[in-house]
Structure 1
Amino acid sequence: MPLWTIYHTPDLFTDDDKHQLAARVADHYENVGLPRFYVVTLFRETRPEDFYVGGEPAAAAVRITIDHIARRNPDQESRRRSARWIKGMLQDQLGQREGLHWEFHVDETSEDLWMINGIVPPPGGSDAEKNWAKQNSASPY
């Protein structure tokens, strides 16, 4: 499961912006073989007086934390590719805004500590996972 938590100061994203970004994120993971419903994106608006960068309140800022559980990058080059992909996807919406501080990081979490609807997800690339992707939902296997 990729979990994207996007902390942001007010008025940076419209509802349409949020929907478009969440759909692009889900599209990417679906294109690399994950069931679409694995992808969760949360937008967490944070007041500038509660969002500090370098010890100072940030008027306009975005901090994205990404948890990868379903898959891991096997080596440094694949991690760099993932970081470039993320940057490229965010650059259009965030990189053009003057005065905006934005950053992200990715954690790779143990899949041993993950369940969906109380079910341990099937092994990556297995027939059961492909069936989950086709159904776009979890089911016993």
Structure 2
Amino acid sequence: MPLHRIYSVKGVFSADDKKAIAEGITNVYSAIPLPKFYVVVLFIDTDLDSFFIGGKPNDRFVRIVTGHIARTNIGAEKERMVLEALQAAYHPYVRDRGLDWEIHIEEHEREVWRENGLAPPMPGTDAEKYWIEVDKAVPYTKGEDARQYT
């Protein structure tokens, strides 16, 4: 599951900006394809007196921390492509507005990830395809079709 935490000073992004950014990020992952419900975007708005860069308050900086679980160790070329696609989703709201920003992606072990208590199906399986179709986690048995359990 990609988890995006976007830290900025309150007011940097409007409600419409946040919605558009979240949709852009979701589109990056649904093109892979991943289920859309895997994508979580959290905007963490902070008071200026609590946001420091280089020891000074800064309302022109955005920090983005992304956690990947569903697809990890995909190779340098694919990792670069995902990072570039994410940056493109942010550009109209960050780079193009003259804000400074930093992004990094953390990778986590799939074995310690659950959706509604379920171990998510492996990439490309019928069960994962069905999760994409219904846009939710449904029970399945390894080697069986998730439809049997809805």
Bigger drift between 46-55 and 130-139 goes to 46-55
- Map 1:100-139; keep pairs closer than 5 Å: 100-139=99-138
Match of 2:5 in 1: 5
| 1:73 CA displacement | 4.3
Structure 1 distance, partners of 2:84, 2:44, is 24
Partner SS for 2:93: helix
Give 1 or 2 for the bigger CA radius of gyration: 2
Structure 1 distance, partners of 2:69, 2:28, is 15
Bigger drift between 9-18 and 77-86 goes to 77-86
CA contact (8 A) 2:28 2:86 kept: no
Structure 2 distance, partners of 1:65, 1:79, is 15
Alignment TM-score, normalising by the size of structure 1: 0.93
Q: Deviations over 1:82-121 (max 9, x none)?
A: 22222222111111223x2211110111111100111111
Q: Deviations over 1:18-59 (max 9, x none)?
A: 111111111121111101100000111011211111222212
Partner SS for 2:5: strand
Structure 1 distance, partners of 2:21, 2:59, is 22
CA contact (8 A) 1:69 1:114 kept: yes
| 1:80 CA displacement | 1.9
Match of 1:67 in 2: 67
Structure 2 distance, partners of 1:33, 1:74, is 14
CA contact (8 A) 1:48 1:60 kept: no
Bigger drift between 116-125 and 46-55 goes to 46-55
CA contact (8 A) 1:6 1:64 kept: yes
* Aligned partner letter, 1:128: A
CA contact (8 A) 2:6 2:64 kept: yes
Structure 1 distance, partners of 2:37, 2:83, is 22
The share of aligned pairs that are identical, in percent, is 39
CA RMSD of the aligned region, Å?
Answer: 1.2
* Aligned partner letter, 1:120: A
Partner SS for 2:116: coil
* Aligned partner letter, 2:127: A
Match of 2:44 in 1: 44
- Map 1:22-37; keep pairs closer than 5 Å: 22-37=22-37
| 1:126 CA displacement | 0.6
Structure 2 distance, partners of 1:102, 1:73, is 25
Report the number of matched residues: 140
The gaps in structure 1 that reach 5 residues or longer are none
